[in-house]
Amino acid sequence: MAHLPSSVEEYPQVVFDESDVDRQLAWHESRLATRLESQQQRSAGQLRRLLANDDTVYKLSKIRLSGAVLTRPDFLRSIFAPVLSKSEPQKLTEILTSADQLHSRLAALDLFSSIKLDLHPVPDGALNEVELRLSVSERGRFFLKTSTDVGSGEGALTGLARGRNLFGGGELLEGSVGLGSRTRASYQLRAEAPVLGAKAKVELSGFGAERDLSAFASCHESLRGVVAKLKTVSRFGQHELWYELVGRRIGSLAPTASISIREAAGESLNLKSAVAHSWAFDSRDHIAFPTRGCSFRLFQEYAGLGGEANYLKSSIESSISRTLFSSQTVLSLGFQSGLIHSLAGRPVPFSDRFRLGGPTSVRMFHLNSLGPKDGNDYLGGQIFWAGGLSLWAPLPGKPNWPLRVHGFLNAGRLTNTWSNVGASSIAVGLGLAGQLQGVRIEANIGVPISVHEGDGSRRGLQVGLGIGFLS
């Protein structure tokens, strides 16, 4: 791999983060469920306000459902049970609250394109006895999609096949394959099913990938693994608990590969057996271009249940966006940090270390080009932090144009020792930004103002595409 000078003027760099695909999918699924709920919640909220002083009590005796042809009755009964389990009469506002919760749980299943709820008196029933009537439209059972993506010299062809509600209990079976220039080949087979009355989901998946890491290290990486996951969602955020067994192999070394990369390579798989937990909360109005709201993600992992990897890992990601002075000017702040503590005297594998730098990370540095380095290879590190400030404003005289003026200040540090944590790499810049189909596109002109030996800094124009930016 040719050595890139630490600070040179170069052609624009375009980088699309592969993890953005999962982020975008999760965010859009959340927003879709929110839109599905919004009309019902507005109507119920207005009615609750009207009935706030009404002390009359009612008995919810039954739920009538229409439109659910593919979904099993016993599965739906487990979801309806908490609503019907209250034997004592309730105020109408309490019944409406339970109906809202039921609507949210049904929307989270992603089985229905529309859900309508109404309260009616029970025909020939007792006085003040009511029933809840649900009318739903089910989504199609099978889905097939192919797509082509191009960016930063990376071309990718992906195919996705999905079977939904296969056995009538909200099950999902999904398979995907991809071919590309950086991720040379990838595949995933995933099965998911709701449990505990649809309060949680369990997921089993197998995956594999062949990755070209030559943009920052003189090697390729091969992955094969399985994951078992439990997911829950509430108004306090999303929790995920999972076990992962994955084998990694570093190979296809370039002739210029450093000693560190050659030591990481081998014929046998580097095995990781780990348990991990994440908690995420996101109130932003847009995942790629927020104007208000905040997000927070906490990740914790223990690797050491077998295999070569043995460490504790923790990281946080946070951001907040606010409009300034009741205008269209938006201030966005972001902060990330992480720590890996090795156990039993074993080094942290190359594949598990943190990486930093790039147009969606610390801008005006090459992709993953901060931190420890051996020859031309960036090795990653065990301690990092990064902070960013971005200011967005409409183009002068063009308040309704999709492009915005963007100014930023980024700083960060990636290292293996606490003594070097405070010595940050810093960059500032100005440019234009917009969005296309939910993806943020930036074209910035900037300059690093604090650079350390080995940093892959760059001056001039840098272009970034992605979903998850530092700020």
- Separation between Cα atoms, residue 25 and residue 11, nearest integer Å: 31
Domain boundary among 106, 138, 170: 138
Residue 51 has pLDDT above 80, yes or no: no
Same domain, 65 and 199: no
Domain count of the chain?
2
Asked if residue 260 belongs to a domain, the reply is yes
**C-beta of residue 372 within 8 angstroms of C-beta of residue 415:** yes
Does residue 342 surpass a pLDDT of 80?
A: yes
Q: In the predicted model, is pLDDT for residue 173 greater than 90?
A: yes
Q: Are residues 251 and 119 in the same domain?
A: no
Tokens of 83: 């609503």
Whether residues 81 and 51 share a domain: the answer is yes
Q: By 3-state DSSP, what share of the chain in percent is helix, strand and coil, each rounded to 5?
A: 15, 50, 35
Tens of pLDDT, residues 414-455: 999 999 898 899 999 999 999 887 788 999 999 999 999 999
Q: Note down the domain range covering 322.
A: 7-16+152-466
Task: Please tell me what DSSP assigns to residue 328.
Answer: S
Same domain, 134 and 178: no
User: Are residues 252 and 300 both part of a single domain?
Assistant: yes
- 378 within some domain: yes
What CATH number did the domain enclosing 75 receive?
3.10.20.310
162 and 100 together in one domain: no
Phi and psi at 92, nearest 5°, equal: -65, -35
Dist CA 58 CA 96 (whole Å) = 11
Separation of alpha carbons 469 and 441, rounded Å: 11
Distance CA 68, CA 360 (A): 44
Given a cut of 80, whether residue 153 has pLDDT beyond it is: no
Amino acid at 259: I
Half-sphere exposure of 370 toward its Cβ, with a 13 Å CA cutoff? Answer: 33
Q: Are residues 196 and 115 in the same domain?
A: no
Domain boundary among 96, 114, 138: 138
158: CATH: 2.40.160.50
- Cα→Cα distances 179→140, 146, 147, 156, 251, Å: 27, 12, 11, 5, 19
Mean pLDDT of 264-288: 92
- Of 113-127, 265-279, 338-352, 434-448, the one with minimum mean pLDDT is 113-127
Of 24-28, 210-214, 321-325, the one with minimum mean pLDDT is 24-28
